[in-house]
Amino acid sequence: MYSDLEEIIRKTVVKLLELAATDLPEDVENTLKVAYEKETNSMAKSMLKSIIDNVLVARKWRYAICQDTGTVIFYVKADPKIPVVSDLPNILRRATAEATNLIPLRPNAVDPFTEKNSGDNTGRYIPWIEWDIVKDLGYIEITALLKGGGSEAPSIAKTLTPAEGLKGLVKVVLETIYESGAKPCPPVIVGVGIGPTADIAINLAKKAALLRPLGIRSSDPNAAKLEEILLEAINKMDLGTHGVGGVTTALDVHVEYAYRHPASFSVGVVVSCWALRRASARIYPDGKVEYISHKVL
C-alpha cells in the first residue's frame, strides 16, 4: 500500500521521464538555434536544421528525441524531515520501469556479465541516484536525466601531477574532444571537473555538464574564464555538427571544481551530445508539484 505522497512522487517521476525523453529543455534548444544562425558550413547548417526540426516534432507528438533514450539517472535534493525520503529509491525504480513501458523508453540496462537486458531500465544500481540531503529545504527536488550511450565514449578521468596543472588540463580536454570526433554526436556539451581524486573530478564534471543551464557561466571567475578559453578552443577545431566541419563543435563548456590534494590534480571530462535531456520538479509535503524545467499545464 502506498501513501498519497508516494503516488504523487511516482506519477511526477514518470512525467519527468516523459518530458526528458520528448521535450528538449529550452536552454538547449535556444543554444542549438543560435548555433544554426551562426553556422557557415552548409552541410553542418542543414544538419542543425534537421536536429531543430526533430526537436519540434518530438515535442509535438511526444516521441523520443533520439532512439537511444539513455541511462536513467536521478539527481535528488531532499529535506530529510519529509517522511517518504527513505522510500525514494523504490519509488524511482518503480517509476522508471513504468515509464519504460508507457513512454516508451528503450530498455538500456544490461548485465555486464550475462549480457541480459533487464527490459525495464532497472538493474543493479540502475537507475543511478545522486543524493543531496538539505536540512530545512521544505521539499524534494528531482531531476531526471537520460544520458545517451554514444556520448559517453569520450568521457575520461585522469590524475595529473600538480606541475602539469591547468595547462595539462587544457591539453586533456582538447585531446579528448578532438579524438572523439563525431562519436558523441556533436555539437556537444562538455563538463570538466577538477579535484583531489579521479572519481571526485568526474562526478563534478558530470554534474556541471548536465545540470547547469547552457549559457550560464560559473560563479567562480577563474572557472568562468577557463570555460570561455576551452569553448573557444574547441570551436576552432572545425569538427562541427556530426563531424562535418563548422563553427560549433561545443554548445557550451562547464567547469566545476573541488580543492585538490597537494600531490594530485585530477581532471574529469564528461561529454553530452546535443540531446541533453533533463527535467526537474519540486514536490512539497502537502502534495503540491512544481515543474521547474518545463511548462506543464
Question: Residues 128, 172: contact at Cβ < 8 Å?
Answer: no
Give the C-alpha separation, 215 to 28, whole Å.
9
The C-alpha angle 279, 1, 87, rounded to 5 degrees, equals 45
Q: Which of residues 46-105 bind ligand SF4 (CB under 6 A)?
A: 66, 68, 70
Q: How far is the CB of 177 from ligand SF4 (least distance, A)?
A: 14
> Which CB sits closer to ligand SF4, 21 or 267?
21
Size of residue set near ligand SF4 by CB under 6 A: 11
> Which CB sits closer to ligand SF4, 85 or 211?
211
Which class for 137: exposed (0-12), middle (13-18), buried (19 or more C-beta within 10 A)?
middle
The C-alpha angle 116, 275, 171, rounded to 5 degrees, equals 95
Q: How far is the CB of 146 from ligand SF4 (least distance, A)?
A: 8
> Which CB sits closer to ligand SF4, 66 or 253?
66
| 165 is an interface residue for ligand SF4 by CB under 6 A | no
> x/- site string to ligand SF4, residues 131 to 160, per CB under 6 A?
-----------------xxxx---------
Under DSSP, is residue 238 helix (H, G, I), strand (E, B) or coil?
A: coil
Q: How far is the CB of 44 from ligand SF4 (least distance, A)?
A: 15
Concatenating the DSSP letter of every residue in 63-105 gives --SSS---EEEEEEEE-TTSGGGGGHHHHHHHHHHHHHHHTT-
Q: Which of residues 248-287 bind ligand SF4 (CB under 6 A)?
A: 273, 275
> Which CB sits closer to ligand SF4, 123 or 148?
148
Start-to-end C-alpha separation, the chain: 29
Give the C-alpha separation, 7 to 19, whole Å.
18
> Which CB sits closer to ligand SF4, 107 or 150?
150
Residues making contact with ligand SF4 (CB under 6 A): 66, 68, 70, 148-151, 184-185, 273, 275
